[in-house]
Amino acid sequence: MIRQPGTQIKLTNVSIVRMKKGGKRFEIACYQNKVSEFRSGVETDLSEVLQIEQVFNNVPKGQVAKKEDWQKAFKTEDINKVIEEILRKGDLQINNLERTQNLQSLSREICTLVSEMTVDPETSRKHTVGMIEKSMSEVGFNVKADKPAKAQALELIKKLSSEESPLPVRRVRMRIRISMNSKDGKRCREKIMQDVEEVEEEDMGTEWEAIVQIDPSAFRTLTDLVNTETKGKGRVESMGSAGG
């Protein structure tokens, strides 16, 4: 950080949060990863978020905002309140290089999640992240910077699960144990089995007990069904994943 003559300050490797208020533009110089932490409440120390505790008109040019301008626009003499408002409500400016790097990192995270959540339906083995990245490109999947990786991973799994997919996948199955008294078991077994992919073990004695494999998305539905049908006396227990 080098102070220039007058009201110019030179900053490098900076992320900018910009806000227009009272007909003027105000900017602050931040560490990009700290902005989201501040907004979510993880980081509360302004000095950890800001590269310099100053309000600018133009960060790249080092033009510091006049005190009377920000006091008039924000109706306060407390510069920290001004900075906090810009941080919370302003727009984070990301340059092209950062945007590209962020998208590449997000793309990798999505493919890693898909690799963890799926297997090859023929071999029950996991695909490598590299194979999924290649298939992501082949099916024309566009990564969205403003959408969580998990949600996009689930979208990509749907695309890769189609018949036209260059890389067939299926969700890693969840192993669960279902148990209830035999009377309830006989009555609602057929309804429960509609959500079951594979039965590993099944025993109908005084109790009906079954160890089965399901798609993870069916776990809540099955749990609710068993609770309702047995008036809370049946049990559904997760036993981890199957395959892969």
CATH annotation of 7-93: 3.30.1250.10
Under a CB-based contact definition with an 8 Å cutoff, are residues 28 and 86 in contact? yes
Q: Under DSSP, is residue 92 helix (H, G, I), strand (E, B) or coil?
A: strand
Q: What is the pLDDT of residues 188-243, one digit of tens each?
A: 999 999 999 999 999 999 999 999 999 888 999 999 999 999 999 999 999 987 75
pLDDT at position 10 is 59
- Indicate if 173-242 has the same CATH topology as 96-170: no
Cα–Cα dist 63/30, whole Å: 15
Domain 96-170 annotated CATH 1.10.357.10: no
Q: Where are the beta strands (DSSP E) in 11-131?
A: 15-21, 24-30, 56-58, 63-64, 91-93, 118-119
CATH classification number, 173-242, choose in 3.30.930.10, 3.40.50.300, 3.40.50.11540, 3.30.70.240: 3.30.70.240
Confidence bin at 6 (pLDDT 50/70/90): very low
User: What is the average pLDDT across 177-198?
Assistant: 93
Positive or negative: CA dihedral 85, 89, 95, 98 = positive
Cα–Cα dist 211/199, whole Å: 6
User: What is the average pLDDT across 1-15?
Assistant: 53
CB-CB neighbours of 61 under 10 Å? 10
Instruction: Share the mean pLDDT of the chain.
Output: 89
Confidence bin at 7 (pLDDT 50/70/90): low
User: What is the average pLDDT across 45-70?
Assistant: 92
pTM, full prediction? 0.55
Q: What is the pLDDT of residues 130-172, one digit of tens each?
A: 999 999 999 999 999 878 899 999 999 999 998 888 999 998 9
DSSP string, 143-202: P-TTS-HHHHHHHHHHHHTSTT-SS--EEPEEEEEEEEEHHHHHHHHHHHHTT-SEEEEE
Q: Where are the domains of the chain?
A: 7-93, 96-170, 173-242
Q: Is the pLDDT of residue 3 over 70?
A: no
Q: What is the pLDDT of residues 74-104, one digit of tens each?
A: 999 999 999 999 999 999 887 677 778 888 9
Burial per residue of 109-147, b for 16 or more beta-carbon CB atoms within 10 angstroms, e otherwise: bbbebbbebbbbeeeeebbebebbbebbeeeebebeeee
> CA dist 151 to 73, 136, 214, 241, Å?
39, 15, 20, 20
Q: List all residues 6 or more positions away from 148 whose beta carbon is below 8 Å from its beta carbon.
A: none
pLDDT at position 242 is 74
